[in-house]
Amino acid sequence: MSLESKKLRYGIIGTGMMGREHIRNLLAIDNCEVVAISDNHAPSRAKSAELINGVTQFSDHREMLSTNELDVVIIATPNNTHLNILDDVLEAGPHVLVEKPLCTTVKDCQLAIERDKQTHRDGRVVWVGLEYRFMAPTRRLIREVSSGTCGKVQMVAIREHRFPFLEKINNWNRFTSNTGGTLVEKCCHFFDVMGLIAQSQATSVFASGNQDVNHLDEFYDGKRSDILDNAFVIVEYQNGVRGMLDLSMFAEGSKNEQEISVVGSKAKLEAMITESKVRIGLRANGTTGVEEFVVKQPHGVIAGFHAGASYLEHLAMQRAIRSGSKSEVTLSDGLNSVAIGQAAHVSIAQKRVVEISEITN
């Protein structure tokens, strides 16, 4: 049967918080079903099995893949497991969405890209879960920039002020060796959005950051958590755009978890993500001429966190699968977003400007 009309059969690898968010969203979409799940932690499997009638459960993803019954596989396991699991899925052949960050280092992202080429299948969609670009106000901002509202973009500032990292299964997210570091793990989303707005490739990064407040007294197997909790990261792009990320993970008292501001030759655009608001202020109209409006997701489905972005991400991926078109969020996008995060960590450690080419070559 052609994939255009077929009920797509999904398998989920890793059924913790994000795996279940994917499951909830897929259950809300017509003409697809989750037929199999795999997780090596029985309580995670049990929580997901409660959501899906008659789902087949596996504790090893290789057994799940060997059934050859899946059209699409989602990888939602800890970051440091992505490369090996993706390798197995690419070998098996289904379409695949791998959660962000693609991998914990650029070197591993490059290996993933190489493996995709080596196992190439015509029409296979390989998608990275950089879903913040699917948030309604963010999409609107990107559209306004593309249509020229801002004029020539010069400055992109993204602020994430939020609560600390949540607890994860076996506390994998408490250590940089598992996550790639906060500026890779969390902030790859923002570097992805920054690149879409800048419409250019990053060339260099300068950052200052530290673990100053969170998890300081958390020890696991005698090792203290080493997760950075605040940073400023400045990014320069090939076309002269300047980007800045302002991250604080001890800012529960924020009205908006994320705010984006773009300033160009003609206007300043802003997106307030939690409030789902966009502001457009043309230079010619001054302070009193700033327009502000609410932007909602078109479908109204918010199954899980991320303000409906996962749902839109799946619709977009399914459109690509069914029409045989290319992935909208490629492995290269995954690599680029990790490269800026990794460069920022090097910059903090060595107190210097880091060229992206140092990280990618």
Ligand X SMILES: NC(=O)c1ccc[n+]([C@@H]2O[C@H](COP(=O)([O-])OP(=O)(O)OC[C@H]3O[C@@H](n4cnc5c(N)ncnc54)[C@H](O)[C@@H]3O)[C@@H](O)[C@H]2O)c1
Q: Which residues bind ligand X (CB under 6 A)?
A: 13-19, 38-41, 44, 61, 76-79, 81, 99-100, 129, 131, 168-169, 185, 306
Q: How far is the CB of 221 from ligand X (least distance, A)?
A: 17
3-state secondary structure of 259: strand
Name which of 39 and 144 has its Cβ closer to ligand X.
Answer: 39
The residue with its CB nearest to ligand X is 16
Name which of 61 and 95 has its Cβ closer to ligand X.
Answer: 61
Q: How far is the CB of 111 from ligand X (least distance, A)?
A: 17
Q: How far is the CB of 27 from ligand X (least distance, A)?
A: 17
Question: Which among 34, 18, 21, 25 is positioned nearest to 300, based on CA atoms?
Answer: 25
Name which of 57 and 149 has its Cβ closer to ligand X.
Answer: 57
Q: Compute the distance between CA of residue 52 and CA of residue 23 in angstroms, rounded to an integer.
A: 8
Name which of 107 and 279 has its Cβ closer to ligand X.
Answer: 107
Q: How far is the CB of 198 from ligand X (least distance, A)?
A: 21
For 307-310, the CB contacts below 8 A with 24+ separation are: 307/135, 307/136, 307/273, 307/276, 308/134, 308/135, 308/136, 309/131, 309/132, 309/133, 309/134, 309/135, 310/21, 310/22, 310/25, 310/131, 310/134
Name residue 5's amino acid: S
Q: How far is the CB of 259 from ligand X (least distance, A)?
A: 17
Q: Which helix (H) or strand (E) holds 87?
A: helix 82-92
Name which of 263 and 310 has its Cβ closer to ligand X.
Answer: 310
Torsional sign, CA 56, 58, 61, 63: negative
